[in-house]
Amino acid sequence: MAEPGYTVLARKYRPMKFADLVGQPHVVKALSNAITTNRVAQAFLFTGSRGTGKTSSARILASALNCMERKSDGFEPCGKCASCLDIARSEDLDVVEMDAASNSRVDDVRERLESVDTRPARGRFRIFIIDEVHMLSTSAFNALLKTIEEPPPHVKFILATTNPEKIPETILSRCQRYDFRRVTLGEIVAWLEDICRKEKIAPQDGVLRAVAELAEGGMRDALGRVDQLLAFSGLKPGLEDAERVFGLVGRGKLLELLNALSQGDARAGILFAEDVFDSGKDVAEVLASMVSLARTLLLVAASADTRAIDVPDNELAGLKATADAYGIHGLVYLAELLTDCRQRVRRAAFPRVVVETTLVKLSMVGRLEPLDRLLARLDEVADAPVSVERLESPSAKVAEPQQESKPAQNATTKESGEKHRSPKEQQALDALKRQFGAS
């Protein structure tokens, strides 16, 4: 448990100005331009996945609009004036914050909007922030619509949601919309490193990356996991701590598994599944790590410049060897199969079977021949001199009665379009069929 008085990192490190917002440069640019040129819309909609900065940005925008110290050519709130401080504490009279998740009824909306016509007490604007706005009832949306259609000039609306598709078109069409994107792995890692420095946390190599991978672009999730890890292991968390706390399997082990599977070792797959399920690991997260590893392998295989790939130098050689063992075709198949497995596991009555069959299938990847090699072989066969065997085969005679005297240039008859294949051609085609049959 956290000690009394401990502020979780996600609260302690809430962005207070635009410059603090990580990974949303398009939002920052548009909003800051609007502020400096005095062309601020009357209603905004901030959308995007969990923990990417929507609520924080709503408060930053409100602070910037009402900041008492902001210069006319600047866009950042000062963070120190009475208005900025009150907004940060959610105590400002001019900024009405409403959480639609717990206030979804029409009466809740009416009550909050009662004061729209009142002039702002201190700032330039009265600002209504409606968080999780998709939770409003239909009649609550209608009540909101009335005001949002023609708000008094001193009023601004900022709506935030993870589910824009649940918002009526009538509301959407009156808002300027900003989509917050998932933050990239590199950006999350850099940001976590910065916070760790400030907090005197010294995680071992790879820990922050593992945390960032699990967060899947959500900044709050990333910080929440750092908190969880600190509670378990103190200020110097190691990779093994992270694996224990989050029920993960480390990358080294996953690579070992993939190497065994590339050798056709189906048993390794079954044993791995047994370990994951019997030791109570989090199957979804193990699969998430595998998908992420498959992606890294694809990048390693596909790019000439490995500096651009975000992996530690000491792991690169191992990754390259595994990537080579699969080949680019095998890796595409690997990534697809794992992604599919991850989705199916969520709904499956018997997730273990889904994982086992996927791993056994993967153990057959090594035997797939790359398509280009198969095609090259077909070409070879097509270019080869026509064999006596083919000309003399009874089917060739039946199919090409008038052309008996002429040696066939290729193996396709005019009448039927059917192919007569040499054993070599047949072999190559069978291999192709196996490949596509298998995937």
Ligand X SMILES: Nc1ncnc2c1ncn2[C@@H]1O[C@H](COP(=O)(O)OP(=O)(O)OP(=O)(O)O)[C@@H](O)[C@H]1O
Name, in order, each residue with C-beta under 8 angstroms of 385's C-beta and a sequence gap of 6 or more: none
**Among 53-61, 85-93, 151-159, 362-370, which window interacts with ligand X (CB under 6 A)?**
53-61
Cα distance between residue 333 and residue 438, in whole Å? 10
Question: Are 124 and 94 spatial neighbours (Cβ–Cβ below 8 Å)?
Answer: no
For residue 8, state whether it binds Zn ion (rule: CB under 5 A).
Answer: no
**Residue nearer to Mg ion on the CB measure, 219 or 254:** 219
Give the amino acid at 96: V
Residue 412's beta-bridge partner residues? 419
Task: Report angle CA 67, 71, 73 to the nearest 5 degrees.
Answer: 120
Residue 55 sits in the site that holds ligand X (CB under 6 A): yes
Q: Which of 52, 83, 262, 292 binds ligand X (CB under 6 A)?
A: 52
CA 151 to chain centre: 37
Rounded Cα distance between 259 and 245, Å, is 26
52 binds Mg ion (CB under 5 A): no
At 115, is the secondary structure helix, strand, or coil?
helix
| Residue given tokens 């808002």 in the structure block | 175
Shortest reach from residue 64's CB to Mg ion, in Å: 18
Residue 55 sits in the site that holds Mg ion (CB under 5 A): yes
CB of 338 to Mg ion, least distance (A): 31
Nearer to ligand X, 160 or 239 (CB): 160
CB of 161 to ligand X, least distance (A): 8
Residues near 163 by Cβ (< 8 Å), separated by ≥ 6? 134
Nearer to Zn ion, 16 or 167 (CB): 16
Site residues for ligand X, 340-369, by CB under 6 A, read none
Which of 53, 327 has the CB closer to Mg ion?
53
Pick between residue 99 and residue 275 the one whose CB is nearest to ligand X: 99
What are the structure tokens assigned to 417, written together?
Answer: 């379009």
Cβ–Cβ under 8 Å, residues 49 and 183: no
Instruction: Tell me how crowded residue 416 is: count the other CB atoms within 10 A of its CB.
Output: 11
Binding mask 199-228 for ligand X (x = CB under 6 A): --------------------xx--x-----
Does 22 help bind ligand X (rule: CB under 6 A)?
A: yes
Q: Which is nearer to Mg ion, 55 or 296 (CB)?
A: 55
Size of the site for Mg ion (CB under 5 A): 2
Query: Which positions lie near Zn ion, rule CB under 5 A?
Result: 67, 69, 77-78, 81, 84
Query: Which positions lie near Mg ion, rule CB under 5 A?
Result: 54-55
